[in-house]
Structure 1
Amino acid sequence: MAALAQMKGLPSKAFDALLARTVDLVEKPWDARMVYADQPEYRQTTFGDFGIMYFKVDEAAELIWIFNVTWTG
């Protein structure tokens, strides 16, 4: 829920970049940096030049859970 609230007011170009990066991550969730060395399922990645998204990979369920979005605006 926090990530959804953080997306309010996101400019359309930033939202499009976030969406495009999310689509990429659905196919390749490990193509992002680890947040914690001892918990590799927690990842972070940039979306264009607009910000950083933090997510958790649930490989068994084949999904990613975005829990934080920080943008530069």
Structure 2
Amino acid sequence: MSYRAVLSSSALALVERTADLLEEPWDAQVLYPGRTDYRQTTFGDYGLLHFHVDAEAELITIYELVWAG
């Protein structure tokens, strides 16, 4: 048996913002002064995510997500 996933509009907002960050990871606020590789951004109406940018590996790692919606 194979399951399907259906994403609500709120979940799609997270996917869309993540896709945007893959193109422009610096388009977010610096989370810690002096550490431009740690960032935060919003998504949807009530979402906040924290992520790390590894420019050498061209990788973003989302390590914290707050979703009040």
Cα deviation for residue 50 of structure 1 reads 2.6
Alpha-carbon distance, 1:38 to partner? 1.5
Structure 1: gaps spanning 5 or more residues: 1-10
Q: Highest CA radius of gyration, 1 or 2?
A: 2
Q: Report the identity percentage.
A: 51
Tell whether 2:59 aligns with 1:63: yes
Q: Which runs of 5+ in 2 are unaligned?
A: 1-6
RMSD (CA atoms): 1.2
1:34 aligns with 2:3: no
Match of 1:54 in 2: 50
Count of residue pairs the alignment pairs up: 63
> Stretches of 4+ moved more than 2 A in 1?
none
Tell me what 2:3 maps to: none
TM-score (norm 2): 0.85
Shift of 1:13: 1.7
